[in-house]
Structure 1
Amino acid sequence: MFKEVSQLLVIDDETLNLELISSIFSEFPNIIVLTANNGFEAIELLKNHAIDLIVLDIRMPGINGIEVLNILKSNPSTAHIPVVVLSGDEQERKNALKMGANDFVAKPFDTEELKLRVINNLQLKKYNDLIKNINEILQKEVSKKTKELREALELSKEAEYEMIIKLGMISEFRDEETGQHIRRISHYARLLARLYGLSEQDQNYIFYAAPLHDVGKIGIPDKILKKPGSLTPEEFEIIKLHTTIGSKILESDPRFKTLKAGKIIAEQHHEKWDGSGYPKGLKGEEIHVFARIVAICDVFDAMTSDRVYRPAFLVEQAINIMKKISHIHFDPELFEIFINNLEAFINIKQTLKD
Structure 2
Amino acid sequence: MVSTADILNARILIVDDQEANVQLLEQMLRGAGYQRLTSTMDPFAVCDLHRANHYDLILLDLQMPGMDGFQVMEGLKEIDPDGYVPILVVTAQPGHKLRALASGAKDFVAKPFDLVEVKTRIHNMLEVRLLYKKLQNYSQVLEQTVAERTAELTESEARFRRLTELASDWYWEQDAQGQFTKVYGPVLDMLGISMESLLGEIKQEQALRWNEAERAVLKANVAARRPFLDFVFSRIDDAGERQYFQVSGEPMFDASGRFTGYRGVGRDVSAIMREVAQPRAA
Larger-Rg structure: 2
Larger strand percent: 2
Larger helix percent: 1
Q: TM-score, normalised by structure 2?
A: 0.48
